Structure 1
């Protein structure tokens, strides 16, 4: 009976998947990394907060999304770094003088040869340039070409094509309840009533599920048995601490199905 494969610093893949749910980065320099996505590493690696370390020149050239700055660090050094996200599918992608817009929560890491910018679409960021990035999805990714209409919950991102517009089913638009939901977000919508419409040239990335990857707050260990210092964020008196702005925006985005 075959046992588990046991890796060491030399046997791990080089910039490739260990399995469908974990990716091995061969770090020799710097990578941008979303907090909470590194599960282990070999070697001499340090982590610097965005705006709080000696890497201002790198950050000026490769990170332009202030809303997400608190969620990212720069990994610097030499070694192998294992990335994963709650057993979701993880894959790497290569851009060559291109641009790709992806859900901010799905992006795990990227090389600093790429520049990350804040998308005009809430909840998304855009990578521009040439380099490799790692992203997660709820199920394998399907690549399709426009023109196409997609369920907002299944959308991972799009490359080298115009931003999508909203499309609402005609019957949904005529219904009073549909109108209330469209303008308030109350009650939610399904992909059969509301879609994102893509036109023009390019590629659209879809996950094989209509279940979004839930956003996770960073900076506080989960309140679980066996987790050192686990607990909820600190409070002042009886008043809970005020959530940071990206979290509030994320709640609004989920309410409207963005």
Structure 2
């Protein structure tokens, strides 16, 4: 018996889409760059310069040539160090740690998305920080890219969702937190939350009401958000000795869980 391997057809500018996933690959997305694009750092994996073009310029948000546009379009100082503006003419291939990537179109819309999932967005959109930590809101008309752990599911409120499965929500009020009284009152559930510092979707959910659309990923595998650590670091100075010791216990418990 012989085993034959097939080599995928190599990509080139003529076989790449202008705005779509790389053929047969849900984990890579190709953008035909013709206008400024806000992009999270570390997500560009390759690009083909347009014929006769000079390639792409990746400029930090605080660059002198960008300050006016950034002030108008990117209202989130907390996340500004993790983003650049891509200018030029090229086919740009984006990837995000092996997660699924999809594009979404907003038409005079209002969508809030988890910051760690947002990869890129057109300069025609305006970005603001959500009142819920770890989320960003896009307003206006344009296209944006977001990643997810598995395919995205679209659902309508009223619904309660596991926070770790939530990607974002569009055109509906921000959620409120719901704690399951039965789960919280159960000895094992209470012990796990109090002693190990862990939460689950059975214990705590986001409660959505009203009209709109909620985006869920088909997995509870959350992506790391560097701003969560920076936010915590900023709060440490305000903690007393007992609180710091408690925080140390929680961190040690979480490390032990992840090492199992």
For Structure 1 versus Structure 2, the TM-score category normalised by the shorter chain is 0.7 to 0.9
**The structure with more strand, counted as a fraction of residues:** 1
Determine whether 1:211 maps to 2:221.
yes
Unpaired segments ≥5 residues, structure 2: 50-54, 237-246, 252-260
Q: 1:106 aligns with which of 117, 121, 126?
A: 117
190, 215, 221: which one pairs with 2:200?
190
The secondary structure found in structure 1 opposite 2:68 is helix
Change (3 A) 1:59 1:185: farther
- Deviation string for 1:46-90 (max 9, x for gaps)? 010011241122112210000000000000010111111011000
TM-score by length of 1: 0.80
Q: Provide Cα deviations, 1:109-159, integer angstroms capped at 9, x if missing partner.
A: 000000010111000000000000000000000000000000111000000
1:166 match? 177
* Distance in 2, Cα, partners of 1:209 & 1:70: 28
Tell me what 1:72 maps to.
83
Distance between the aligned counterparts of 1:246 and 1:65, measured in 2?
A: 13
Q: Which has the higher helix share?
A: 2
Cα distance, 1:201 vs structure 2 = 0.3
Mark the runs of 5 or more structure 1 residues left unpaired by the alignment. 218-242
| Alignment partners' CA distance in 2, 1:63 and 1:145 | 29
- Output the CA distance in 1 between the equivalents of 2:232 and 2:84: 18
Output the CA distance in 1 between the equivalents of 2:200 and 2:93.
36
Q: Deviations over 1:9-60 (max 9, x none)?
A: 2321011110200010100121000001100111111010011241122112
Displacement of 1:172 = 3.2
Shift of 1:247: 6.9
Q: What is the DSSP-based 3-state SS (H/G/I as helix, E as strand, rest coil) of the residue aligned with 2:139? A: strand
> Which SS does the other structure have where 2:34 is aligned?
strand
Alignment of 1:104-253 (within 5 A): 104-174=115-185, 186-215=196-225, 245-246=230-231, 248=233
CA distance in 1: counterparts of 2:192 and 2:103, whole angstroms: 37
User: Does structure 1 conserve the Cα–Cα contact (< 8 Å) formed by 2:183 and 2:202?
Assistant: no
TM-score (norm 2): 0.80
Instruction: Say if 1:68 and 1:246, in contact at 8 Å, map to a contact too.
Output: no
Q: CA deviation at 1:99?
A: 0.7
Aligned pair in 2 of structure 1 residues 129, 181: CA closer, same or farther (>3 Å)?
farther
The alignment partner of 1:54 has SS state of: helix
Q: How many residues get paired? A: 227
1:33 is aligned, of 36, 39, 48, to 39
Which has the larger Rg? 2
RMSD: 2.6
Q: CA offsets per residue over residues 168-223 of structure 1, 9 Å max, x none?
A: 111234357866877x7952111111110000000000000011123369xxxxxx
